[in-house]
Structure 1
């Protein structure tokens, strides 16, 4: 696997573990380039029997994946090429989450920065998530832009934390710290920041060292829920809101006031609430 194949990822393979570092400065926006890289990487790894575990982390100490690129409001056709050939019933954002959710390898996220919107959806689609205390944050911020999650978030969240807390996360649109996310079941475990690497690396090595067939057998037994109907409902809800004038205004005003900059992303919730 050539490192040069990916503009926004750094990938290393060793001992049955693929370590993937997200690197799309300044804030790891989930734009066309990052989405294409992630799709290509996951597709390549699906057929690589030498890889048993995929661990995702970030080159940025502050941001895991900020959210989907908000400039989509000005370039609605930007993802058309990625959307070509998708399975029926999912949009381009949902397709990424479903690819991750059905990956044959075990997927683990080391969350040591913030993940909002589409970033939170990617995190929630992974098999396991370990979050650094005092550094990690996760939230579905879409409601503050006049929309709802459209990349699987509503469905993935409900499966993880239940309907009542999913409604709280989607409509409250707050950023949840590691401890609260653990208590809700959004992440596997909240871990002291200086122990995160050790905890995840030990787990990844132990899983990669299991006898042949064990990972595949476990993934056959603990199968992801079929979310086809829910994903269709989610897409219709998201698309119906995205075309409303209020959503366009909030997204444009957010960009004009610092969204997708390091400064603005540090408290994006407050920035967007101020615009409303």
Structure 2
């Protein structure tokens, strides 16, 4: 496998598992490549999770790296990686499952989870996109595309404009995620989902996903790229 920074990638029984660690420069760039490479891999399903039984939250950012992000050239490169991550994750025609342990999926982590077809979480996980309070920036890594698609515009405004946090139980109730189970049962629940998906005709399953992907791709072209440009402009001006 290629070097994806602090991302562990395994391929077993036709399932590619992407386990994401701390978000630093190489890892942010690695995200832009791993979903592209998944397109061409022999995997039939993809599981996105985190190292050490967690996911991506604000505590997982390398803030020393963030402090170096200054100047147009640096930010342009960062936004290009973010754009590629979103593009390749929402156009991947292989079923994707997010397996989210506590503390949950936040900021970029929330976007990575919501780009998946299914989000299964531990009951003590939470979900948010605190770009405003965390970075003082608009949600340029996919939040403006993916939250409205899952929970509707009114609720998306609450989460993106008020930095509101959803518990796993609430996230299920509002359609943000698919299922919440005790942490000790999460691996088994995801394994059952994998076996269910494998029971279908694979070509038909992929074609179904490709059809559903069209909605996110349309929003990416009309909303996602514009939001990333706004984030880049605000980042340079800080």
What is residue 222 of structure 1 aligned with on the other side? Answer: 212
Change (3 A) 1:77 1:105: farther
Query: Per residue, is there more helix in 1 or in 2?
Result: 2
Matches within 5 A, 1:56-71: 56-61=48-53, 63-67=54-58, 69-70=62-63, 71=65
What is residue 70 of structure 2 aligned with on the other side? Answer: 76
Q: CA deviation at 1:18?
A: 1.1
Which consecutive residues of structure 2, in runs of 5 or more, have no partner in the other structure? none
CA RMSD of aligned residues (A): 2.6
Change (3 A) 1:192 1:163: same
Return the alpha-carbon distance in structure 1 between the equivalents of residues 175 and 73 of structure 2: 32
Alignment length, in residue pairs?
230
SS, match of residue 190 in structure 1: strand
What is residue 177 of structure 1 aligned with on the other side? Answer: 167
Question: Which one of the candidate residues 20, 24, 31 is aligned to 1:38?
Answer: 31
TM, length-normalised to structure 2 = 0.84
Question: Which one of the candidate residues 160, 165, 176 is aligned to 1:186?
Answer: 176
1:198 aligns with 2:203: no
Q: CA deviation at 1:78?
A: 10
What is residue 11 of structure 2 aligned with on the other side? Answer: 13
TM, length-normalised to structure 1 = 0.74
CA contact (8 A) 1:55 1:107 kept: yes
CA contact (8 A) 1:117 1:139 kept: yes
Change (3 A) 1:39 1:78: farther
Return the alpha-carbon distance in structure 1 between the equivalents of residues 107 and 195 of structure 2: 30
Bigger Rg over Cα? 1
Change (3 A) 1:82 1:8: farther
What is residue 239 of structure 1 aligned with on the other side? Answer: 232
Q: CA deviation at 1:82?
A: 8.8
